[in-house]
């Protein structure tokens, strides 16, 4: 009986911890955390924003994506994905960064720890063609509060 209680406790603790070291590649399609029965908050109510430095690229260009908390509300985690707005296919790759984890299977970047963050700067590298890129994502404020379906805006020059 004690062994069963310990096993259940370990499983519950693992599930409650979410993805403290970043989202796995299995999160690529839905871009949603597995946080029990908690549902995402509407993107329009998010205290967070994504801003991209440009929306067009040439081979090898770098596009900067800023994940920001303009109201100062910290976040625990994130998943940001680069995609072609015409085909909806993921494209390019992100460079490694402090506190960040690449998910190369789907041109995405995630957090690598669950410490509070107020911003993150991501660097995306364009593929060997030219085109347009957009960024979408999910931000986890805390275990039961996360925002899905966020889209980057293009930085005004």
Backbone phi, psi, residue 96, to 5°: -60, 155
Best-predicted range by mean pLDDT among 12-21, 30-39, 77-86? Answer: 77-86
Containing structural domain, residue 64: 39-154
Whole-number Å distance between alpha carbons of 29 and 26? 7
Instruction: Give domain status of residue 98, yes or no.
Output: yes
76 falls within a domain: yes
Q: Tokens for 134? A: 């957009």
pLDDT on residue 14: 37
Q: Read off the CATH number of the domain in which 59 is found.
A: 2.60.40.4060
Question: For residue 138, is it within any domain?
Answer: yes
Residue 25 lies in a domain: no
Q: Find the mean pLDDT for residues 18-45.
A: 81
pLDDT digits (tens, 9 = 90+) for 50-97: 999 999 999 999 999 999 999 999 999 999 999 999 999 999 999 999
Domains: count for the chain: 1
């Amino acid at each position: 009986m004690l062994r069963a209680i310990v096993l259940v406790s370990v499983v519950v603790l693992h599930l409650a911890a979410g993805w403290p070291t970043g989202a796995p590649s299995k999160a690529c399609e839905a871009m949603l955390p597995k946080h029990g029965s908690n549902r995402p908050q509407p993107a329009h109510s998010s205290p967070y924003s994504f801003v991209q430095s440009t929306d067009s690229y040439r081979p090898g260009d770098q596009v900067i994506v800023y994940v920001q908390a303009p109201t100062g509300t910290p976040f625990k985690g994130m998943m940001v994905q680069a995609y072609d707005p015409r085909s909806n296919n993921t494209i390019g790759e992100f460079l490694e960064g402090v506190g960040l984890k690449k998910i190369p299977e789907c041109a995405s970047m995630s957090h690598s720890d669950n410490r509070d963050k107020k911003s993150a700067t991501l660097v995306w590298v364009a593929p060997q063609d030219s085109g347009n890129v957009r960024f979408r994502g999910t931000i986890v404020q805390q275990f039961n509060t996360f925002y899905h379906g966020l889209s980057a805006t293009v930085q005004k020059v």
